[in-house]
Amino acid sequence: MEINTKIKVFNFFPYECEAAEEYLNDMARNGWILKSMKGPILIFKRYKSNTVRYTVDVLHKVSEYDCKDSNEVLEYRDYCEAAGWKFVGQKGTVQIFYTEDSQNTLEIHTDEKEKFKSVFKASLYNALGQVALIGMWLFFIYMQLFASSTDYTLSSNLNVLTIVTFISLIIIFSIEVVSFVIWAVKTNHNLKISKSMKYNNYRQIRIKRSLPLACVLIMFVGMIYDTSEISVITMLIMISIPIIVALIIRLFINKKRYSKKVNIAITVLGLLISTFFVMTVIGGAIGRTIINRHINKSDNITELSLSDFGYKEAANANPYTSFNESILAKKSVYFSEDKEHNLSYTIFESKYPMIVDFNADRLVKMLNKIKFNVREYKSKLPNDVKVYEYNESKCFILVSKNKMIDTRNNFKDMDDDKFLNIVYDKLFKE
Q: H-helix or E-strand containing 416? A: helix 416-427
- Sketch the domain layout of the chain as residue ranges: 5-104, 230-297, 306-427
Indicate the helix (H) or strand (E) that contains 377: none
377 contacts 390 by C-beta, under 8 angstroms = no
Pick the CATH number of 306-427 from 3.90.1570, 3.40.50, 3.40.1000, 1.10.3470: 3.40.1000
Nearest to 234 by CA among 164, 156, 289: 289
The per-residue pLDDT for range 257-294, each reduced to its tens digit, is 666 677 777 777 777 777 667 666 655 655 555 555 44
- Of 275, 279, 289, 276, nearest in space to 152 by CA: 289
What does pTM read for this prediction? Answer: 0.74
Q: In sequence order, which residues have a C-beta less than 8 Å from that of residue 324 and are 6 or more positions away?
A: 152, 155, 156, 290, 293, 330, 331
Q: What is the pLDDT along the chain (430 residues), one digit of tens a residue?
A: 567 899 988 888 888 888 888 899 999 988 899 998 887 889 999 987 778 899 888 886 766 666 667 777 888 888 888 888 899 988 878 889 999 877 777 777 667 787 888 888 888 877 888 888 888 889 989 988 988 889 988 998 878 887 887 888 888 889 889 988 988 888 888 888 876 666 666 666 666 666 666 666 665 665 555 544 555 556 566 666 766 777 777 677 767 666 667 777 777 777 777 766 766 665 565 555 555 544 444 444 557 888 888 887 666 667 788 888 888 999 999 988 776 788 899 999 999 999 999 999 999 999 998 888 899 999 889 999 999 999 776 899 999 999 999 999 988 888 999 999 999 999 987 6
* Residue 347: strand, helix, or coil: strand
- CA pair distance 257, 250, nearest whole angstrom: 12
CA distance 348 to 294: 16
